[in-house]
Structure 1
């Protein structure tokens, strides 16, 4: 007969910032996306189904990459879903309406109009995230890049479905799979990252011109990807059939270095976040917010994974409780780090105090949990 897992006294979930807006946007946006997908798929069901496979695979892979990037201080699922759905619904509809309304030939629309309109539309996600109490979620460059990337992925997913549904044959499907879910898999997130960096710099150091510079860079990258192959093929005398070759050339010369630079920038920023958290852990131990064992666990990703795996042996509730603790400790530490640097405001101080009270009052602190059933006190033998 197997022994039931120990029932640990689990702390309730820490109070989060509430609001119906993310839920409303997610539900309404999801309905809009389903309607658009139905319309898109009705034109060419076979091409749509074939294209949905690489499009969905690309979306999942990219989302996993962004969750990995954000694993140090995970963003709330409700806001993540809102950003994704917003990109696939409101951003798509706004871009489509404006691009159709502006009279221009096909090349001008792709190379000039689309980048200007779509990058502006994708940047609108910050109007949702950076307002009200939700702005407290934007505590680092990583957070800005995360929300910009997730919104852009929602947009790219729906856009890809539209392109695949309009394919004229098997050759078109192969080229689109190679270009849109291969070379260009991180295209839209990469462009919008430039705007996100500009917004982060403006919010932390001032100077709205930084937002404009970031947006212009995003438009240039987007325009070069859309129109660069046509211009390069014409300049090199490659003709219409040489556009794929020109695209590969632009990809290797321009976009690979930009992508690598972005990855380096984000990983360095995440390293700074981890250093900021580690700098606050000794103070949190002294304040009684965490135990030394918890501080050691939070500071070391390997120990964190080991503790989560061990807590999982005692049931899902125990593992969820440890995840809540890790997230709360990280958020409280980063909040205090920003406050000590003179950043943030009264809302951030209130959030830090809220998390501190929750951390201090938890009944399930690591290192103080029962490791075995409690027996009545007994006097051991004298010769023990």
Structure 2
């Protein structure tokens, strides 16, 4: 042991197998790393009022609850309890398919649960209620003075429904943008919220269609008409509404990622218009397809396979590409933070791969529920940090974005310390 000279400076704490990658303090070495967003410096912190956001959410949920009561009393209850129960049960299948797909798309960069619940309730209650209120006056406005029955049905299905329904569903996306850009920060976020809103709308609409169809089947003494309606709406087209509204969500998400007000208007209106066109194409096809009395579904199925299925597959390919793009973005941005000393290479791999995230949460759960919650919060904060940084690099950094970056980094550091304190042994061997 040397007895002369200055005492050696303490180096980084050696990492054992129990705490690999979770050092408490990491030296930041790369000046060209995340610091490009701006130095911390002295700043005046704006007084934050989280209660205001929660109050808005609370009032919105109360308003939606009131709308749900009115829909039940004036629309669903007249169908009768038995018919409503059958329709509700039948509507669970298509909405379960949509919710499963949304969960698969959203699990890589998960959104806050309260906003996801709000989106579904807005679609199931708010957009449906507004459609009932606005739809009839809109149809009267676009109809001639004395339309015949076929003209009235065509205007209602191919004009009124696409315009009013898609506008009311997209209003929920606008509400999320007004409450905060953190909810819709990229294309996948817009698609997820749009699909949830559309899934909620289709759920309520299916209850009404299935209920009316079952009621007519009871009156006629045969159930073939009910099963045909269920097959067309519940089996062949569970993603119809989700596909239409997702185009508006995709446009708003791209604009949110680029932080451009002009893109918000241009891509939002463009996506909404394209969704209306696809909706009109879907609803209006029944007025132009030839009907064979011996096989009434034959013409529709041919149209469905040649037109609607390719459109749906294109939209699925877009969503898969966006998922793949999100993973590349996250790896690139976290690697930048890694070069600056915030993450070890093994941590970047863990945070990018879904399987590795699950293993990390399982490992943390062996040390208690608090450790698992800390690991889950660490993963979510890191994902949000990477996607937020990608968005900032496309726009102009501001004091708010710099403050948000520091808040996320502090949150990640706090989670690291919590995990380390709960998983490291009290007495070292």
Residues 1:30 and 2:65 aligned together: yes
**Superposition RMSD on alpha carbons, in Å?**
2.8
Q: Which runs of 5+ in 1 are unaligned?
A: 1-5, 7-14, 378-384
Q: Indicate how the Cα distance of structure 1 residues 183 and 229 shifts in structure 2: closer, same or farther if over 3 A, else same.
A: same
CA distance in 2, matches of 1:257, 1:344: 41
Displacement of 1:283 after TM fit? 3.3
- Residue-by-residue CA offset, 1:147-195 (whole Å, 9 max, x unaligned): 1111111111111111122121122321221111111101111111122
Residue 37 (structure 2) aligns with: none
Residue 3 (structure 1) aligns with: none
Residues 1:250 and 2:303 aligned together: yes
Q: Indicate how the Cα distance of structure 1 residues 345 and 326 shifts in structure 2: closer, same or farther if over 3 A, else same.
A: same
CA distance in 2, matches of 1:376, 1:270: 43
Q: How does 1:284-299 map to 2 (within 5 A)?
A: 284-287=337-340, 289-299=342-352
Q: How does 1:170-185 map to 2 (within 5 A)?
A: 170-185=223-238
Q: How many residue pairs end up in the alignment?
A: 360
Residue 42 (structure 2) aligns with: none
Displacement of 1:131 after TM fit? 1.3
Q: How does 1:89-108 map to 2 (within 5 A)?
A: 89-101=125-137, 102-103=139-140, 104=143, 105-108=152-155
CA distance in 2, matches of 1:165, 1:216: 31
Give TM-score, length-normalised by structure 1: 0.84
Q: How does 1:154-303 map to 2 (within 5 A)?
A: 154-167=200-213, 168-169=216-217, 170-203=223-256, 204=258, 206-207=262-263, 208-233=265-290, 238=292, 244-287=297-340, 289-303=342-356
Displacement of 1:284 after TM fit? 2.6
Q: Secondary structure at the match of 1:138?
A: coil
Does the 8 A contact of 1:51 with 1:173 survive in 2?
no
Residue 382 (structure 1) aligns with: none
Does the 8 A contact of 2:199 with 2:242 survive in 1?
yes
CA distance in 1, matches of 2:327, 2:376: 17
Q: Indicate how the Cα distance of structure 1 residues 376 and 244 shifts in structure 2: closer, same or farther if over 3 A, else same.
A: closer
Q: Indicate how the Cα distance of structure 1 residues 146 and 372 shifts in structure 2: closer, same or farther if over 3 A, else same.
A: closer
Give TM-score, length-normalised by structure 2: 0.76
Does the 8 A contact of 1:202 with 1:210 survive in 2?
yes
Q: Which runs of 5+ in 2 are unaligned?
A: 1-17, 19-47, 144-151, 218-222
Residues 1:150 and 2:196 aligned together: yes
Residue 12 (structure 1) aligns with: none
CA distance in 1, matches of 2:55, 2:405: 23
Q: Indicate how the Cα distance of structure 1 residues 252 and 369 shifts in structure 2: closer, same or farther if over 3 A, else same.
A: farther
Q: Computing the radius of gyration over CA atoms, which structure comes out larger, 1 or 2?
A: 2
Q: Secondary structure at the match of 1:124?
A: helix
The partner residue of 1:45 within 74, 81, 88 is 81
Does the 8 A contact of 2:371 with 2:418 survive in 1?
no
Q: Secondary structure at the match of 2:292?
A: coil
Does the 8 A contact of 1:54 with 1:177 survive in 2?
yes
Residue 390 (structure 2) aligns with: 337
